[in-house]
Amino acid sequence: MTLDAITLSVIQAALQQTCDEMDLTFSRAAFSPVIAEANDRSDGIYSAVDGALIAQGSQGLPVFVGVMQHSTRTIIEMISDGRVLPPEPGDIYVVNDPYLGGTHLMDVRFAMPLWRAGNIFCWLSNTGHWPDIGGAVPGGFSASATAVEQEGLRLPPVKLFKKGVMDPEIYAIICSNIRVADQRIGDIRAQAAALHVGQDRLFAILDRYGDETVVEAIAELRRRAAEQMRAHIAALPDGTYRSKAFVDSDGVVDAPLTIALSVEKAGSTLTFDFSGSSAPCAGPMNSVLATTLSSVYLAMRHIFPDVPISAGAFEPLMIKRPEGTFLDARYPRPVSGCAAEVSQRIAEAVFAAMVQAAPDKVTASPAGSSGNFALGGNDPARGRDYVMYQISGGGYGGNSGHDGLSNGCSTIGISKSPPVEIMEQAYPVLYRQYALREGSGGAGKQRGGFGLAYEIELLRGEARASFVMDHGRFGPQGALGGRDGAVNTVTVFRDGQPHVPPHLSKEQDIALKAGDRVLVGTPGGGGYGDPLERDPELVLRDVGLGYYTREQAAEMFGVVVGNGSVDAAETERLRRR
C-alpha cells in the first residue's frame, strides 16, 4: 500500500461529506414535501467503470442504499452498447424505469458524469420521489394495477440536460404526463443543484489530494469496507438461518405472498437464498431485482450501522438472484408496492433470520409498513380537488437491551408524519383521535413498542379512500420466544356501518361521504425473549401507564397486578403453569 492511513481516512471523510451536502441541498431546495420534509431522496458517487457505489449520503432514505449503483451501471452499459447517446460535459441523464435498476416509477433518478481532463472520473447520481408520475391514481400507488403502464410514465435513460441546458422538449413530455406539473421545475432544479454541489466539492478534493491519490483511495476504501463487513460476519456462528415473512396480498388476488429466506453463514460471507418464495404476482406487490438487493443491504446496515455504505460493504453479501419469484419481477409486472412495503418484508425476513445468529445486534420485527392512506376528493367549501396522504409509524421490536420504540418510522424511511393540525388545515377532515394503540406491543422479556390508533372523519363533500399497508394478516414477528406484535387494522365506517377491506391492509377507491370515518390501528413491534421472564415491576409500570390492561398483564406476561403492586405469589403460580 502506498497510501498512508491518514490520507485514506481523510479522503473517506471528504467523500462522505460531499454526499451529505448533496442530500442537504436537495431537500432544502426541493418543492415536493415528499423530498423536502420526508427526505425521500438519496445522493451518491459511483464508479466510472461499472457504476459501483463509492459513497452515499448518510441522510438518504435507507431504501435507496445501493440502488443507484444498479441504475448507473445500466446507463454505462447502455452507453457502451449504443442504446443511449454518450455523454458530453454538462449532460444529465434522467431515468425511472424500474427494470433498469430502479424501484417504482415515482423514484426519478438523475445521473451526471464528473469530467476530469476530458475523461469521466466518476458519476454523481441522485434519486427523488416525485409526488406524481402519471398513471391510474394520483401519487402512483394503485393497489389494483396489473401492468406497469397503469402506474405512470416510464422514462428510459435520456439526457434531460444537454451541455448544461435543460431540454425543453423532454421537459414538455414529462409535464404533459404527470399531475401538478407546474411545480416540478422546482424539484428538477433542486435535483440538478445537488449534483452540482457534489461536483464542486469533488473537484476541491481532487485538486487538493490529486486525482491518482483519490483513485487509489477509493479502491482501498472499497477493499477495507469489505474487510470490515467480513470481520462482522466472521464473528457470527457458522450455520444456516431460516425465516419467512408474508405480504398480506398483492392487492388483486386475496392470498398471502411468502418470502422464504435462508441465510448461510460460512467463514466471512453470508449467502442469501430466497428460493421457495412466491411466484410473480398479478398486483403491484412485485419487487424488481435492484430493490430486492438493496432491501437486504439496508437490513444489514440496520444491523451493522458502522460499516460505511459502499460497494465493498456489499461484497461479502452473496445474494442469489431470486429468479421466478415476485422478488425478481420483469416487465410488465406492476411494481408500485416494492419500495414502500415489499422491501420492508424482505428486511423483516433478514432480521428474523439474523436475530438467530446475532441476538445482541438484531431486534424482533418492527411494524415495517409505510402505512399509506390516500384520500382523494372534492372540497365543496373550497371548490377544489385534493389528494391527502396520511403515512404512519408503528411499534419497533424489542431487543436485547430495551423495549421497542413506539410509533417509529418505517424500516426503509426516515420521514416524519404530518401534524394533525396541518392535515386539518389543508383537507376537509377531522381527526377524532390520534393515540397510542394500547396492548399492541408484542409480549416479550423486552416487549415491542406500540402502534398508533387514529380515526379520521370526512367533514365535507365526497371522497375516495385507498390503503396500501401491510401486516394485516400476521403481526410483526417476535424473536427468541417473544410474541408477535398486533396486526394492522383498517375499518371504514360508512353510514355508521363498519367495512373491513377484504385484503385487510389494501383496498382502492372506497367511496366516502361527509360523516363517514376511517379507523386505523398500526402494528405493534414484536416481542424479544420469553415474556414470562419480563421483570414483573416493568409489567406493573406498563399497566399503570395504561399500556396494557390487568387482564393482558396476566395473559401475555403471566403477571398478576393487584392494587398498585405485583401479587408475587399469584404471579409465581401463573408463570409456573
Partner 1 sequence: MDENIPAQAGNVVAGIDVGGTFTDLLLIDGANGGAVRIAKTPTTVENQAHGVIAALAATGFPIPAIDLIVHGTTTTTNAVLERRLAKTGMITTLGFRDVIELGRRTRPQPYGMTGVFVPVIPRNLRLEVSERVEASGRVREPLDEDGMRSAVAELVAAGCEALVIHFLHSYANPSHEKRAAEIAAEIWPNSHITTGHSLLSEAREFERGVTASVNAAVQPILERYVARLRDELSQRGYRSDFLIMNGNGGMISARFVTREAAKTVMSGPASGVIAAAYTGRRAGFDNLVTYDMGGTSTDVALILNAEPAVSNEIEIEYAMPIHVPMVAVHTVGAGGGSIARVDASGLIQVGPESAGANPGPICYGRGGTEPTITDANLVLGRLDPRKLLAVDNPVTVEAVRKIFADRIGKATGLDGVAAAGAVLRLGNIRMAGAIRMVSVSRGHDPRDFTLFAFGGAGPLHASALARELGLPRVLVPARPGITNALGCVVADLRHDFVNTLNQPVAMLDEKRVHEVLARHRAEGEALIAKEAVRPQSIRVSHSADMQFVGQTHLINVPLPSAHVDRETLQGLFETAYFARFKVELPEIRANLVNLNTSVTGVRPDIDLGSLIDPAGRVATLEGALREVRPVWFDSGWRDTPVYLREKLPLDAAIEGPAILEQMDATTVLEPGDRARSDRDGNIIVEVGAP
Per CB under 8 A, contacts with partner 1 among 201-220 are: none
Coil vs helix vs strand at 536: helix
From the CB of 559, what's the least distance to partner 1, in Å? 18
- Give the residue among 452, 445, 496 at the shortest CA–CA distance from 471: 452
Rounded Cα distance between 523 and 143, Å, is 20
- Residue number with CB closer to partner 1 (224 or 494): 224
- Residue number with CB closer to partner 1 (251 or 448): 448
From the CB of 312, what's the least distance to partner 1, in Å? 9
Q: Does 336 bind partner 1 (CB under 8 A)?
A: no
From the CB of 6, what's the least distance to partner 1, in Å? 4
Q: Out of 63, 122, 155, 452, name the contact with partner 1 by CB under 8 A.
A: 452
Helix axes 67-80, 289-303, angle to 10 degrees: 140
Which DSSP string corresponds to 316-336? TEEE---TTSTTS--TT---T
H-run or E-run covering 123: strand 119-129
Binding-site size, partner 1 (CB under 8 A): 85
User: Considering only residues 501-560, where is the footprint of partner 1 by CB under 8 A?
Assistant: 544-547
User: Considering only residues 373-412, where is the footprint of partner 1 by CB under 8 A?
Assistant: 391-393, 396-397, 399, 401-402, 405-411
- Residue number with CB closer to partner 1 (94 or 303): 303
- Residue number with CB closer to partner 1 (127 or 399): 399
Rounded Cα distance between 185 and 160, Å, is 12
- Residue number with CB closer to partner 1 (108 or 423): 423
Coil vs helix vs strand at 196: helix
Q: Out of 420, 519, 538, 574, name the contact with partner 1 by CB under 8 A.
A: 420
CB 271 within 8 A of CB 263: yes
From the CB of 337, what's the least distance to partner 1, in Å? 20
Rounded Cα distance between 412 and 366, Å, is 11
Rounded Cα distance between 278 and 327, Å, is 8
Q: How far is CA 197 from CA 184, 193, 570, in A?
A: 20, 6, 66
Q: Which residues contact 165 (CB under 8 A, 6 or more apart)?
A: 90
Rounded Cα distance between 409 and 227, Å, is 31
CB 31 within 8 A of CB 37: no
- Residue number with CB closer to partner 1 (251 or 366): 366
User: Cell 394503540 sits at which residue?
Assistant: 437
User: Considering only residues 228-247, where is the footprint of partner 1 by CB under 8 A?
Assistant: 228, 231-232
Quick note: the x/- pattern for partner 1 over 143-182, rule CB under 8 A, is: ---------------------------------------x
- Cell numbers given for 202: 469533488
- Residue number with CB closer to partner 1 (30 or 387): 30
Q: Does 249 bind partner 1 (CB under 8 A)?
A: no
CB 153 within 8 A of CB 177: yes
Q: Out of 185, 253, 266, 500, name the contact with partner 1 by CB under 8 A.
A: 185
From the CB of 131, what's the least distance to partner 1, in Å? 10
Please give the sequence-ordered ranges of beta strands (E in DSSP) within 351-500, or none if there are none: 372-379, 384-390, 429-436, 452-458, 462-468, 489-494, 497-499
Judged by CB under 8 A, the stretch of 329-337, 434-442, 502-510, 548-556 that binds partner 1 is 434-442
- Residue number with CB closer to partner 1 (83 or 402): 402
Q: Out of 41, 265, 301, 345, name the contact with partner 1 by CB under 8 A.
A: 301
Rounded Cα distance between 114 and 116, Å, is 7
Q: Does 414 bind partner 1 (CB under 8 A)?
A: yes
From the CB of 16, what's the least distance to partner 1, in Å? 8
From the CB of 478, what's the least distance to partner 1, in Å? 15
Quick note: the x/- pattern for partner 1 over 19-58, rule CB under 8 A, is: -xx--xx-xxxxx-x--xx--------------------x
From the CB of 487, what's the least distance to partner 1, in Å? 18
